[in-house]
Amino acid sequence: METLKQFHGLPCNCYTRRVLLGLLPDPNADSCPTIDPSVYDYAIGSAEIVDGNWTIYPSGTIPSTSTATVQGSIDTGTTWFNITSPLPYNFFDGSNGVPTGQSALYTRLLVTDQYGCESYSVESTVTG
């Protein structure tokens, strides 16, 4: 919880200050902050073929206030589809399998924070 702080002798509007520092999205703006895709440390720790299709075991560092959706692309990243519904941050520890329904694909995470801002992880590829 943010406490009231003094800034040059004036009370600090901490929410506004966080928006200005880029830590929170501006509710009056049409855009969200840009997030470096590598910050999520997305990787496929292991994968296995089940009935001809990949099941991946994704890992990543997702903020506890966010959810992530595993997305896939079969056209080298031109179009993307959701493989999962939004999953909690603690799902991405590398031990949970995600059936992809595909024999080869690009994958990434669509991360949505508590304010509805979306960003993406780096992409990872699985091939047969």
* CATH number of the CATH domain containing 62: 2.60.40.10
pLDDT surpasses 50 at 11? no
Output the pTM of the full model.
0.75
pLDDT given at position 124:
92
Burial class (CB in 10 A: 0-12, 13-18, 19+), 87: middle
Q: 22 and 75: one domain?
A: no
125, 85, 83, 80: which is closest to 105 by C-alpha? 125
Q: 26 and 71: one domain?
A: no
Residue 81 sits in which domain range? 32-126
Q: Calculate the average pLDDT of the chain.
A: 81
Q: 59 and 24: one domain?
A: no
Q: What is the arithmetic mean of pLDDT over 15-27?
A: 51
35, 1, 54: which is closest to 110 by C-alpha? 35
Q: 59 and 90: one domain?
A: yes
